[in-house]
Structure formats: structure tokens, C-alpha cells
Chain A
Amino acid sequence: MSATVLVVDDDDDVRSLVALHLTLTGFGVAESDTVDGALTALAAGPTPDLVLTDLNFGADSGQRLVEHCLAIGQPVILMTASVTARELPSPLRDGVAILHKPFSLAELSAAVSAALASGDAP
């Protein structure tokens, strides 16, 4: 059974592209364009193997989702163009993988594979 990834981004083009690429490379993909939508999806289940989330959601922040994922032991990758790891609060800095935009699809695949291969992944 293929691994599943929840892609969370309010940029429709980015989210669609990431979802398309992951689908084409054999992953099961779910999408959300809001942090609240992602939190609801996580609560409702089934739990994805990995959450891939943007940081900036207009007035909202993906940091909230990342913090929730870390609290429940959910592997998560933060996609961002504007924040480096050292700018994050230390709990996040230590616990989340960062995929810097603009990333290539090869970098995306590598980051997802690494996250799923880590000890946190099922």
C-alpha cells in the first residue's frame, strides 16, 4: 500500500503541482488549502504518513499545524521561501524538516522520501 501525504497550501498552483507530482510518483495524496482544514482532516483520519505544509496562509500560519503535528508525532515537512531553520522557534527547528521554495520536483521527492524513511515514519 502506498504511503499517503497530506498537502496543505493555500496557493492552488503549488498545491496542485505537488499533489500531481506525488500522485504520479505513486503516493496517495490528500489536499487542504487551509490550516483548519488540515487539522480537521487529521482529526477525522485516516492519518496520513506525512504532512507537507506551507508556512504562510495569509492571516493564518502553518506553524500552528506544524506544532500540532509535532505534538502528536506526525511526520511533517514545512515548505517555505521566507524562513530558514534558525528563524523558527527551537521546538520546531529541531523537529521539522524544511523544504525551501523554490524547490525542484527532485528535491520534493527527496524530502518526502527522507521524511518517510526516518524513524518517525510508520
Chain B
Amino acid sequence: MTMLGTSPSVMALLDGLRSATGCQVAALTVLDEVDAVAVHDVILASCDDSEAPLVDTLAGRAWTPPDDAVSSHREICFPVLGADGTTIVGSVMLLDPAGPPPTAETMESVRLLATAASTAVLRESALRERRRADSEADPALIETLLAVRRAEDQVGNSLAVVLGWLRVMSDSADSPSGGVHIAIRRLEEAQAVVAELLRTTARTAIDEHARRPVSMTAVLREAGLDPLAPQSGADVHVLANRAHLVTFLTTTSPMLASEAVVTADSWLVPLSRPDQLGSAGLLALHASGGTLTSHLGGQAAAWSRTTGPVTA
């Protein structure tokens, strides 16, 4: 297992990103299209002050799962931390393209757990937004917070039931009949909740991004980095078909924990098209805690047109 500690290059990158954007929060997770994501390259290091590794992936095991982990694919997963910097509020699993094909059940688990992670990050963002000042809080974001909470509870209940019954049935041949039917029903309910949550949060994310856009291309360029290539020393880069999709910024520092992900422009653009909302493959929320710097103004203008690709 390879554990990468804090490196100067990572800290420099984070500092550059922070300096370039004034951004406190940039969150995204892959949702509907998680099954299409292939991890071709992951470069990872923890960024907390203690130098304790937070995650490492692909080269080894990201996070030692509990004994009754829902699936073997958890070895390629990493936690999403809450604002306290220590509580794991969710997890995201990425599938190794070199690994065995995932089962349908595994993919459902991936989808739901990724959603759980995204909602947790979204909630953190919304809570932070609310704390800033009531007068500045975006009502739509707060309403989304409430919707997320309701959905989290519903999905949490459903997943607890699904995982629990799978365990009961696995452990005992004499387990009560009907468990599998209950598990299937609850899984379907969770899927419906997630689908509705996707629509709600995607719309909020679009509005939020239009209000305070953060462009990965612009950010990386401002940081003096090549936006077209994975950055050596950055946290986690995810590529699909060799296209750079997202960069996960992971940290255990309370000050940095909310900086979850910066996404490539090409993935944000589809979200701006109302006709594609129903099939939106990702959720993006950018709740900037600082003032956007003027050099991102071009990006903001490009984004607000919402009709074509953003060009930096």
C-alpha cells in the first residue's frame, strides 16, 4: 500500500487554487454516470497539517473498510469529510477499469453512496451559507438544504434496511422470508429519492454556479498549471476516455475540508442546459466564501450564457 504524505507541491497547488479563487467551497460528485467513469490516473496526497495520510487509491487501498463492507469495490473509495475534518460524512467509490465488471447491485451501491457523499457536501455548503449571514443566504440553497436532509434521511433508512437484510440473509439460512423483497423495495425507493434529489440539487447548483462560478480551467491557469493535463501533486484526478473530468481536493483540515472538488468546465456545461437536467450526470455546487476575483469575470460571463462550451 502506498501512502503519500503531504508534499510541498500539493500544498502549493492548494494555496494557488485558494489564492486564485478566494473559494471556500467547490463541491461536485459524480452521480448518474458514475458507471461510466474510469479511473486512469490518480495522484493523491493528504494535505492535513499532521501529515497523516487521508486517502490513497488505486496503488493500494484508500480507506480500510469495515469488515462487512458493502462490496469489494470499496477498496477504490475515499471518504468525504465533514466540516469538523474528522467525521466521515460520506464516501465515493470509483471503479477500477482493470478490475472485474461490477455487478448491478454494486453499481447501485456506488450510485447511492456517491449520492450520500454529494448530499453531505451539499449540506455542508448550505449550512456554511446560512451561517455567513441570513441576509446573504440564498433561499433556494437553504430550501435545498432542507430537501437534502429529508432525502438523506430517506436514503439512509433505505440503505440501512438494504444492507441489513443482505447481512441477515447472508448470515443465516433461516432468516425470515421476505427480506429480499423488502430490500428491493427500499432500494427502489432510494433510487426514486435520489432521482428527485438530483433534479433539485442540480437546479440549485446551476443557479449557485451562475451566481458564483468557479472554473477549473481558469483556476488552474491562475495557479500557473496546465488545465489540460492532470497535475502532478494534486489530490485526485479522475479521467474518463482520457478526458479530465474532476479533481477531488481532499483534506482533513477543518479549514479545507469543504474544498471537495473542482470540476472541468466540460462537465459543467451540460448542466446549464435545461433539457439535459433530467439526465444530468453530475452535481456541482460552488458556494464561494470569498469574493470572486476579477480574472474570473470572463468565465462568469461565459457561464451565464449557458448555451455553449466555456472557453477560458
Contact = CB atoms under 8 A, between A and B. Distances in A.
Nearest to A98: B87
Nearest to B113: A102
Interface in A1-37: 11, 13-14, 17-18, 20-21, 24
Contact of A17 (B67, B84, B161, B172): B161
Contacts of A17: 160-161, 164-165, 168
A82 B168 contact: no
Interface in B45-100: 66-68, 70, 82-84, 87, 89
A100 to B, nearest CB: 8
Given A81-B156, A82-B156, A13 B68 contact: no
A102 B89 contact: no
Contact of B153 (A24, A56, A103, A104): A56
Interface in B110-169: 116, 123, 127, 148-150, 152-165, 167-168
A21 B158 CA distance: 16
Contact of A105 (B127, B158, B164): B164
A18 B157 CA distance: 11
Interface in A38-75: 55-56
Chain B interface, >50% SS class: helix
Contact of B82 (A20, A56, A81, A84): A84
Interface of B: 66-68, 70, 82-84, 87, 89, 116, 123, 127, 148-150, 152-165, 167-168, 172, 176, 182, 186
A82 B120 CA distance: 8
Contacts, number: 81
B152 A107 contact: no
Contacts of A13: 157, 161, 182, 186
A108 B164 CA distance: 10
A55 B149 CA distance: 12
Contacts of B153: 55-56, 80-82, 101
Nearest to B112: A102
A83 B145 CA distance: 12
Nearest to B160: A102
Nearest to B182: A13
A117 interface: no
A108 B163 CA distance: 12
Interface residues of A, number: 27
Contacts of B167: 104-106
A101 B165 contact: no
Which of B83, B84, B127, B167 has most chain A Cβ within 10 Å?
B167
B149 A82 contact: yes
Which of B154, B157, B162, B182 has most chain A Cβ within 10 Å?
B157
Nearest to A10: B157
Contacts of A21: 164, 168
A67 B168 CA distance: 32
Interface in A82-97: 82-87
A13 B167 CA distance: 15
B82 A102 contact: no
Contact of A14 (B70, B161, B176): B161
Contact of B89 (A24, A84, A108): A84
